[in-house]
Amino acid sequence: MGPVSIKGRGAADNPQGRFETLARNREPEADVQSRPETVVTLHLARSIIARNDSPDLPFAQSINPYQGCEHGCIYCYARPSHAYLGLSPGLEFETRLFAKENAAELLRKELSRPGYRCELIALGANTDPYQPIEREHRITRGILEVLWEFRNPVGIVTKGSLIERDLDLLAPMAREGLVQVFVSIGSLDGEIARTLEPRAAAPYRRVETIRRLSESGVPCGTLVAPIIPFLNDKDMEAVLEAVSEAGARMAGYTLLRLPWEVKDLFKDWLQRNYPLKAKHVMARIHDMRGGRDNDPHFGSRMKGEGQFAELLGKRFEIACKRLGLNAGERNRLDTTKFRRPSPTQGNLF
């Protein structure tokens, strides 16, 4: 028998990471706990801004306040990063978390450097900045305070309704053209979300988050992501209609990606939760990924290839046009207001 699903967790086991030199072989009495606790380790990071030159991404700078993510989304492409820490991309990615407690201090130093060039910084490019542990550790909050202090624009992607806590910062930043928020919603089906994204906010709650942000003047969009054939692809139009009614102005979508260890974790999840659909789902994924589980190439890795991928693109385009999403020029954040506060000003925060 394979591993059994654990309530509130995406993965059901701790498969070996690809960098481990010793194979894991647990005794029966050492099996995974039925209710594994979340353990957070405070971590002093050496740097805070990550930079990339990917043509698939609309930003070159990003910050990840946390390593690992308690949301437990089984499809998360960030899971393999836990292997670099000698930990499993499975349950340990969801339960062994690292919080960068000096993130705000490092960011202030980075933005104060004479050679720093102001451009958008993305929060949530890897792990969610508003996952449940943010409620206690408030590292994302500290980062936003520094970005507002320096008037540096920020783009946020999240599945967490906790972002509403920071409206006192986001609203004035929005008035200065310094922030936009994308709330990721792959389906409005609560039953799918319960197992696919076990500790993320419920879909209806995320729609409400878009409504509250929009009412406060914060430019909002949604990412219909990831699209999984035969599971949530049918929900694309319903999601776009719901977020449009709630005030979203922008939308995007991505196809399911299965890099490295994620592919085996996802296949296991399929067998545990949708055994009758598992072969059909993977066959369609192979159709859109050149016969493989994953396509790592720029340009095609986000949207896929083939007739089904083209159909998804057409459906998305037609729905957005009908609902007025992505109308006109995409919202551009203002980089001209960047400033370096004096040491006296900095001490006030």
Domains of the chain, earliest start first: 36-326 (3.80.30.30)
Report pLDDT for 16.
Answer: 79
What is the layout of strands, in order, in the sheet containing 179-184? 50-51, 61-63, 121-123, 154-158, 179-184, 220-227, 250-255
Q: Where are the alpha helices (DSSP H) in 216-306?
A: 236-246, 262-273, 278-288
Of residues 101, 190, 186, 93, the one with CA closest to residue 142: 101
Tokens of 289: 């990924």
Query: With bands split at pLDDT 50, 70 and 90, how would you rate the model's confidence at 2?
Result: low
Q: What pTM was estimated for this model as a whole?
A: 0.92
Region 195-207: mean pLDDT is: 97
pLDDT at 25 over 90: no
Report pLDDT for 124.
Answer: 87
pLDDT at 119 over 80: yes
| Better pLDDT: 26 or 149 | 149
Q: What percent of the chain has pLDDT over 70?
A: 92
Report pLDDT for 17.
Answer: 76
pLDDT at 83 over 80: yes
Report pLDDT for 342.
Answer: 78
Query: With bands split at pLDDT 50, 70 and 90, how would you rate the model's confidence at 314?
Result: very high
Report pLDDT for 22.
Answer: 59
pLDDT in tens, 228-281: 999 999 999 999 999 999 999 999 999 999 999 999 999 999 999 999 999 999
Helix (H) or strand (E) holding 222: strand 220-227
Could you tell me which residues come within 8 angstroms of residue 172 by beta carbon, excluding any fewer than 6 positions away? 148
What is the layout of strands, in order, in the sheet containing 96-100? 39-43, 96-100, 66-67
Region 197-226: mean pLDDT is: 97
